[in-house]
Structure 1
Amino acid sequence: MTSGTFSVNGRTYSMPRGPVVVICIDGSEPDYHIEAMAAGRMPWLSKVLEGEGTSWPAHCAMPALTNPNNVSIATGHPPAVHGISGNYIFDTELGEEVLMNDKRFLRVPTVFGAANEAGLDVVVVTAKDKLRRLLGAGLVEEGPSLDGSGEFVAPSRRGICFSAEKADRATVEDNGMGDVLEFVGRPLPSVYSADLSEFALAAGVRIMETRGADLMYLSLTDYIQHKHAPGTEAANDLYEKIDHYAGRLAELGATVVLTADHGMSAKTDGTGVARVIYVEEEVRRILGITEDAEAEGLRVILPITDPYTVHHGALGSFASVYLPPGAVRTSTVEALRAIEGVQEVHGREEAAERYALPADRIGDIVVLAEACTALGRFAAWHDLSGLDAPLRSHGALGELRIPFLINRRPARPELLDKPFGAPARIHNYDALWVATTLVAEQENASARTT
């Protein structure tokens, strides 16, 4: 194991003395593991938290979505630094709405790439393929150079990065390893299943058992959380599997962190009917737009939009509004704030400052819904035919709370960044720093006193 430290994006990380594994449980509000432990379905985690483990209240980055938060964990910073403001954006340079899956959107290197260059054996396994190119930049794919120049350069050494979704297509050249299905011993999972998360976990354990790794990141999918509340049988089944694989990684000597990219909330009334505010329709009403020709320049972006909309219909709780020429922003903001179910509305500059967002990648106005309410564009834009359960979704402050659990007991750090709403002393994007640097500092301090 290499000794010393490495630095990236203004943070210094200690070289781990043993394997470090961060598991990002997609869409995991704290009640999921609390209910599963109460039901006796997470025996490893229960034992850890009774002994050498730690649980801290934590927040995700905003918006509370998959791409921004996975990249926040991967870079150690919120979107204002790394530039990934959603799963989906309006690209002002192209004048098009695009998925934010490509590494060209990254503005800084990842910790994975920096650790790889520093000599660590790095493994990244994602459930969904949409994250692979972002998280693999500088690891197995070309990515931002480590000198901050913004140029794309090939890594001098290669790690491993593949997705469960396309595990059958993984190759040594593109992903750092091939024949993944045979190696893991499991069939290719359906993208709309709990099996997708289990495959990523099983792959991580298999890699650790056979070849080892210094730094491993396992990112799951929120298919179950979108359809099943905490404490339900389906949710407890998933968390029992997470507990099993996390426990096995710990048996192999790993420091294991369990956190999440965002929480999850029911977006329904008492009868299970979805509560939805169609933002584009509301803005048209506010501005007095009655004809499509008058709406030129008006655009509402729902950054939750991704290739996997079956379980949420692209209905989240965060929206970005681009106003048409001549529209008065201040009066539009005030009118949107008055709508029942809306929690916060901010102009671009205020939203960027308050939520650590890249100002050039959000609209003139940002709208956040309350926890029980979803935001849409206009009714006809959303295909809800795939929803076979009451709507559960995420994106805003109602989904801010996430778990942060580690099978070590480092001293609780001071507040590392400005919280949104109720104070939290840590964020998910501190996971790699805690598991390496903070744990190492504790171990060094213990060694000095013995």
Structure 2
Amino acid sequence: MDHQDTIMTELHASAVSVNGRDYSFPQVPTVVICLDGSEPGYIEAAIKAGLAPNLDRLMKNGANLLAKCVIPSFTNPNNISIITGRPPQVHGIAGNYFYDRTTGQEVMMNEARFLRAPTLFQAFHDVGARVAVVTAKDKLRTLLGKGLDFSTGRAIAFSAEKADKATLKENGIDDLLAFVEKPLPTVYSADLSEFVFASGVKLLRAFRPDLMYLSTTDYVQHKAAPGTPNANSFYAMLDRYVALLEAEGCVLALTADHGMNDKHKPDGSPDVIYLQDIFDDWMGHDKARVILPITDPYVAHHGALGSFATVYLPQSADTPSVINRLRDVEGIELAISNAQACERFELPADRIGDVVVLATRHKVFGTSASRHDLSGLTEPLRSHGGLTEQTIPLLVNRRVDWPADREPRNYDLFAIALNHVVLKHIA
């Protein structure tokens, strides 16, 4: 046994501590997939239609659990929770978008400087592991890849959206389109997620990472309900890649960042509560500031309409009275103070407003009607953000010994995959 073999044997026997949780070093490659917007009904419908035999086998013979995502049920806070193993109160990412009180500016929370906790990838990479991170949309790449040293040859992180721009220096890999053997996908397509899965298969074979994270886009889920032809086609595609990934002998674990629901009226138009207009009527123009943390550059997905909003009030406002008034608005499921929201949802107090508001299942929030460009919504709106999009699947292709009386969170998935699997492969 040479020196490198000795080091790796020691690593395999050790635990890595990240954000107060211990994780065993993987004995085989461990692949975690975050299926963006994937409520449990999507997989169930594809299996019922006979289009997902590999997922069916996995669910019957491996671990098939229901989990809860973090609130707000949006992409960034949940992906970061999964890869830090902790809720937003610890890692600091409370949405895609927030109001920075210190600068007085509304900003996207995509930059690594906003992340307050190390990722599992950084921690494992620092002790010698090989890690790979592939995202669909580039908005997550810098957050997920924070702390990785690509010059070591043991780290790769890139997005499908900008695969043509990947370099060894910035991403740990170049000539990516030739490597994956697929053309650059368009951002508004199922092809963007398929590029992620195809990349994962290639990386398992050529790079053999100890840990790999594959994060998709919810383009299909925003447009197609479970059981519809487009949705079933997407999950049939996923099923094919599940077989290819499993063929490489990995522990494969899947969850979602959030679910998805119809958010439209019978005529197909979005069912929106325009909160900024309501506050302007109550308090005067722009006295309060409504922030929609779903906001990101991909307006064709959701038109910046989601079921979670946060409100910054003027100093003179009577917050309890405002909350009581909000609770009387039809379509509002929950209105609570900053302190209550931080306690209930484990959120960072400085990155949410004075009031947090969640909508009922089929409602979404907007700011003002005049501020939303809904021209990209070519189908009746489906969106997320509230409590009704919190239930998600959690699947592993091994039996697990997770306690039956403890409801898992999506951010428990790496702990489950690394600490709680029975390493005998399913039949």
TM-score normalised by the chain length of structure 1: 0.90
Distance 1:254 1:102 in 2: 31
> Which contiguous aligned blocks of 4+ residues in structure 1 show a shift greater than 3 angstroms?
155-158
Tell whether 2:159 aligns with 1:169: no
Instruction: Report the secondary structure of 2:419's partner residue.
Output: helix
Tell whether 2:17 aligns with 1:7: yes
Instruction: Report the secondary structure of 1:21's partner residue.
Output: strand
Question: What code does the residue aligned with 2:175 have?
Answer: D
Q: How far apart are 1:269 and its partner, in Å?
A: 2.4
Distance 1:41 1:356 in 2: 38
Tell whether 2:365 aligns with 1:369: no
Tell whether 2:310 aligns with 1:320: yes
Residue in 2 aligned with 1:60? 69
- After TM superposition, the structure 1 = structure 2 runs for residues 377-392 of structure 1, keeping only pairs within 5 Å, are 377-392=367-382
CA RMSD of aligned residues (A): 1.6
| Counterpart among 36, 48, 61 of residue 38 in structure 1 | 48
Distance 2:405 2:201 in 1: 33
Q: How far apart are 1:271 and its partner, in Å?
A: 3.1
Distance 1:412 1:76 in 2: 15
- How has the CA–CA distance of structure 1 residues 376 and 132 changed in structure 2, closer, same or farther, with 3 Å as cutoff? same
- After TM superposition, the structure 1 = structure 2 runs for residues 109-258 of structure 1, keeping only pairs within 5 Å, are 109-140=118-149, 158-258=154-254
Instruction: Report the secondary structure of 2:300's partner residue.
Output: coil
- Contact 2:129–2:154, Cα closer than 8 Å, also in 1: no
Residue in 1 aligned with 2:111? 102
Residue in 1 aligned with 2:387? 397
Q: How far apart are 1:157 and its partner, in Å?
A: 6.8
Question: What code does the residue aligned with 2:263 have?
Answer: K
Q: State the percentage of identical aligned residues.
A: 52
Tell whether 2:419 aligns with 1:437: yes
Segments of 5+ residues of structure 2 without an aligned counterpart are 1-7
Distance 1:399 1:173 in 2: 38
Query: Deviations along 1:237-263, whole A, 9 cap, x unmatched?
Result: 111111111221111001111110000
Question: What code does the residue aligned with 1:220 have?
Answer: T
Q: How far apart are 1:272 and its partner, in Å?
A: 2.2
Instruction: Report the secondary structure of 2:357's partner residue.
Output: strand
Q: How far apart are 1:211 and its partner, in Å?
A: 2.5
TM-score normalised by the chain length of structure 2: 0.94
Q: How far apart are 1:385 and its partner, in Å?
A: 0.7
Tell whether 2:281 aligns with 1:281: no
Q: How far apart are 1:90 and its partner, in Å?
A: 0.5
Residue in 2 aligned with 1:77? 86
Segments of 5+ residues of structure 1 without an aligned counterpart are 142-154, 417-424, 445-450
Residue in 2 aligned with 1:333? 323
Distance 1:6 1:274 in 2: 46
Distance 1:140 1:376 in 2: 40
Instruction: Report the secondary structure of 1:124's partner residue.
Output: strand
Question: What code does the residue aligned with 1:173 have?
Answer: K
Distance 1:427 1:349 in 2: 22
